Amino acid sequence: MRLFIMLVLITGLAGGTVAFAEQVSVSQMMADNRYWPPPCREDTCILTGLGGITEVWERYIDKNHGRLFIVAGVCASACYKAVLRAMKNGEQVRMIRGSRLVDHEASIARW
């Protein structure tokens, strides 16, 4: 299966629900579930989120080996890196129409 990835740099989404303009601290990420991988259901894992700690998302992929990964909504930063890891590991990855993968240069974590 071949997956075509469209990279989109987003400064904001309609409705103002997500903004990537300013850096988020680790303490802010810890308090916001949008920066953590959502729980998997049976044989399917949804990849959606604003990013977070790359190692956490990569362990999520490794822990859920053999499941179908579906990209839904915005998958940014560490979530995007998780998609790349899943594809590299040969996992099944599908993308829902209208979903967005967002990559950016790494930044130093601040508390």
Ordered mean pLDDT values, 10 residues apiece, the chain (111 residues) = 34 40 77 94 95 94 97 96 97 97 76 62
Residue 59 DSSP label? H
Q: What is the pLDDT of residue 41?
A: 92
Q: Which residue has the tokens 């915005």?
A: 74
Q: Which residue has the tokens 């995007």?
A: 80
CB–CB of 102/20 below 8 Å? yes
Q: What is the pLDDT of residue 4?
A: 32
Q: What is the pLDDT of residue 107?
A: 66
**Domain boundaries in the chain?**
39-102
Beta bridge partners of 7: 101
Q: Name, in order, each residue with C-beta under 8 angstroms of 25's C-beta and a sequence gap of 6 or more.
A: 109, 110, 111
